[in-house]
Amino acid sequence: MKDQVHHSAAAGYKTAADTYVKGRPDYPPQVSQWLTQTLGLDSHRTVIDLGAGTGKFTGRLAATDAQVIAVEPVAQMLEKLSAAWPEVLAVSGTATDLPLPDASVDAVVCAQAFHWFATPEALTEIARVLKPGGKLGLIWNLRDTQVSWVPKLDAIVNALEGDTPRYYTGQWRDAFPHPAFGALQLQQFHHGHTGSPEDVIFNRVRSTSFIAALPQAQRDKVDEQIRALIASEPALRGRHVLTVPYETAAYVAVKVG
């Protein structure tokens, strides 16, 4: 199973689980309605949190009263999730090897995750465990590049991505169309991540898989670049509390047949 996990995720998330918890933004309130109305989650449904990480989205799923099964391949992330959500069944697995029977769940949700395994093989395996008419939900938070300083921060990060799959490139879309699923339907929301610069900027960047996997000297250089950016931007300089603007993209596709 280890060979099915991208090297950036395997190396970076092994050491960055704590930083991930501190630095990742939450999701906007509208996501609760998306889960209950668009995905149809309630106490009679079972949902997989696929690529669940440290459980950042798991609580949103649990709040629907659905039975939640969290699937995550990186042991250090799964440990954090289990500690945060002891009532959730947390299992080791990947998108191409789900430890569940055929047609056993009502929905599969991938939060900040689908780009890691966006292949026809993964969609075929997801379709296998979904009941007919079951729903696949894909959701991402992405910094809002309409705010002037955000592209400058993104440039620092993106320069180091190498071959790491990323949502913003749109390459994940190559897995669609897929014969097991109908067309993707999109809803978009806006929100902000408010907190100290240490958490909402530095720890958010440090929690990026390929940044976390760098040698310490290179990670220190990234911190220096961010400090220089903050010092150069009036909207950031000298602030003890910042709000980083985000856009949330929420997609759903229904299993056909």
Question: Domains in the chain, start-ordered, CATH in brackets?
Answer: 2-142+166-190+245-254 (3.40.50.150)
Residue 19, pLDDT score: 65
CA atoms of 59 and 169, how far apart (whole Å): 28
Residue 7, pLDDT score: 57
Residue 12, pLDDT score: 43
Residue 111, pLDDT score: 97
pTM score:
0.90
Q: One digit per residue, pLDDT tens: the chain, 257 residues?
A: 334 555 554 444 445 556 656 678 889 999 999 999 999 999 999 999 999 999 999 999 999 999 999 999 989 889 999 999 999 999 999 999 999 999 999 999 999 999 999 999 999 999 999 999 999 999 999 999 999 999 999 999 999 999 999 999 999 999 999 999 999 999 999 999 999 999 999 999 999 989 999 999 999 999 999 999 999 999 999 999 999 999 999 999 999 98
List Cα–Cα distances, 137 to 124, 159, 187, in angstroms: 15, 29, 11
Burial class, 184, CB count within 10 angstroms (exposed 0-12 / middle 13-18 / buried 19+): middle
Residue 257, pLDDT score: 80
